[in-house]
Amino acid sequence: MKIAVIGATGLVGNVMLKVLEERGFSSSDVIAAASPKSVGNVLKINNKYYKIYSVEDVIKMRPHIALFSAGSAVSQQYAPTFAKNGCFVIDNSSQWRMNEQVPLIVPEINAATISPVNKIIANPNCSTIEMVMALYPLHKALKIRRVVVSTYQSVTGTGVKAVRQLEAERRKENVEKAYPHPIDMNVFPHGGTFEKNGYTSEEMKLVNETHKILNDKNIQISPTVVRVPVTGGHSESVNVELKKSFSMEEIYTLLNNMPGVTVEDNVENNLYPMPLFAQGKDDVFVGRIRRDFSRDNSLNMWIVADNLRKGAATNAVQIAQYLIEKYF
């Protein structure tokens, strides 16, 4: 197997290389590609060394699977070429997510919708992945009517430039800004670009991608995206209204039985998910699970995951593993 990582020098690309190694892929089977300014350099990840190639060079190497994390423009330009050569493309950008011909995949939920003709496969947005991981078992058993979600998203979701801005602000230094406002000692309700309906592009991803992954456009979703000065992962406050009545024991059972979800909910011992402790882990953590006493058949949850791992790199590698098991 030859696995290519396009955008290997970025935050997500780095983690893709780490996750591939953790899951048994030899560094000799992994091809790293990045922008022209990085070509020829050597990237060190966990004491393994990867020579950086150009995307054009990688096309000629004919990898079996290519993990893309280099932005929408690169995916738009090069993904069809890889696919035409018979390579499966797993794309982490937003370029292909809402394309009706492209499956949008969280393996624990809908890997079975992939077919051999789907050479381009979309990796969902990081905040969407962790939310649907918790919503899926509830929707399957009880059917979701409405979701109200507020996110608390790490600066790592924006990239290296945002992390540098946060670190520089904490040192009281000037640096090129990724955000229109200071992020240290601050939060702001702005993720992506503002759209005509008053919502941001990041907020609309939560709506549109959830509908596609859960295959149900009737779920009502009201999102607010907030950026917070942390690096460990994304957190979400999620209120869910279900169509059927439930017991809290049933909710805990459904979540505990969902692969990839860990319930951390013991308030007597101050146990609940936090990005500080989710960082570096692949699971989605759910806590503060409680009935919403203001509305029938409703509950609240607090969901946290490392947005660079399950929210991006790990999910992509899991898709790759599924493809290998199914088609190679």
Cα 13 to its chain centre, rounded Å, is: 13
At residue 161, the pLDDT reads 96
Contact (Cβ atoms closer than 8 angstroms) between residue 52 and residue 35? no
Q: What is the pLDDT of residue 214?
A: 98
Residue 182's pLDDT is 97
**0.75 exceeded by the pTM?**
yes
For position 257, what pLDDT does the model report? 98
Model confidence pLDDT, tens digit, residues 284-327: 999 999 999 999 999 999 999 999 999 999 999 999 999 999 99
CA distance 242 to 37: 51
Q: Taking the domains of the chain in order of start, what are their residue ranges? A: 3-124+312-327, 127-307
Q: What is the pLDDT along the chain (328 residues), one digit of tens a residue?
A: 999 999 999 999 999 999 999 999 999 999 999 999 999 999 999 989 999 999 999 999 999 999 999 999 999 999 999 999 999 999 999 999 999 999 999 999 999 999 999 999 999 999 999 999 999 999 999 999 999 999 999 999 999 999 999 999 999 999 999 999 999 999 999 999 999 999 999 999 999 999 999 999 999 999 999 999 999 999 999 999 999 999 999 999 999 999 999 999 999 999 999 999 999 999 999 999 999 999 999 999 999 999 999 999 999 999 999 999 999 9
CA 94, 98, 100, 105 torsion: positive or negative? positive
Residue whose pair of structure tokens reads 């692949």 in the numeric block = 282
CATH code given to domain 3-124+312-327: 3.40.50.720
Q: Do domains 3-124+312-327 and 127-307 have the same CATH topology?
A: no
Please tell me the predicted confidence (pLDDT) of residue 18. 97
**Considering only CA atoms, which of 39, 45, 42 is closest in space to residue 12?**
45
Secondary structure, 3-state, 150-214? EEEECHHHCCHHHHHHHHHHHCCCCCCCCCCCCCCCCCECCCCCECCCCCEHHHHHHHHHHHHHH
Report helix angle 11-22 to 314-327, nearest 10. 50
Catalytic annotation, pick one of 87, 126, 190, 211? 126
87 is catalytic: no
Start-end of H helices in the chain: 11-22, 55-61, 72-84, 107-110, 126-142, 160-170, 201-214, 248-256, 275-278, 314-327
Look at residue 228 in the predicted model and tell me its pLDDT.
98
Taking Cα atoms as reference points, which of 102, 51, 38, 57 lies closest to residue 76? 102
Question: Six-digit token pair at 302?
Answer: 């607090």
Catalytic residue among 64, 87, 190, 234: 234
Q: What fold does the segment set 127-307 form as a domain? A: Dihydrodipicolinate Reductase; domain 2 (3.30.360)
